[in-house]
Amino acid sequence: MFLHRYNFFIKHKVLATAQYDFLFAGDIHDFYDPPTRDKFYRLIEKLEKFKGECTWSESRLRKKFRGANFGLRLQGDRVSVETYIFDGSLRIEGKHLGDMTVRNRLVIAQGAYQEGDVSAAEVICQGQIIGNVKAARKVTILPGGTVVGDIVAPALQFDSGASFQGNCQVDLIQSKAVSPPRKSLIAQLFGSG
């Protein structure tokens, strides 16, 4: 952080100062609109292409974002009428009609509307989902969130003010089962413990 605060003293070899600052401000756990996301990936690709010429601070930035998979934010002015498959995290801020499969985290933002079945590693609902929900890890319905459909997940969280109509199935097969402690080899051989 100290180096970034006084970035105007540092000369970069690969990125312009504005590009460096833009990438430095990025968060790999956040959601971005398509143009912003593309700009992040272009800058990361540039650092990777010229990694031998990077300054120390550029090299640290390159390592920080190596393999980054920024979440995609579909903004409120979008309406999709198709099955959507996304390999990453996705935040819906508008209306989506059709089934959706997301590899990581799916967030239905406040005021957003999803009609169709959804499947993701984790589903967080602040808006409205009309359809069945399947999650590999967890489903969370936050205050103001509504799900009308069946839910299958190893963990469920319904916050105060959340609304749900349908059936729930806690599917423990998807989660990692905790196995009982094993006896030590000595205890097994000699019958003690």
Which pLDDT band holds residue 180 (cuts at 50, 70, 90)?
very low
- Check if the beta carbon of residue 166 is closer than 8 Å to that of residue 152: no
pLDDT in tens, 127-179: 999 999 999 999 999 999 999 999 999 999 999 999 999 999 987 654 443 33
The dihedrals phi and psi of 173, each to the nearest 5 degrees, come to -65, -35
The proportion of the chain whose per-residue pLDDT surpasses 70, expressed as a percent, equals 80
Predicted confidence at residue 10, as pLDDT, reads 65
Predicted confidence at residue 141, as pLDDT, reads 97
Q: How far apart (Å, rounded) are the C-alpha atoms in residues 75 and 83?
A: 17
Residue written as token pair 């430095």: 24
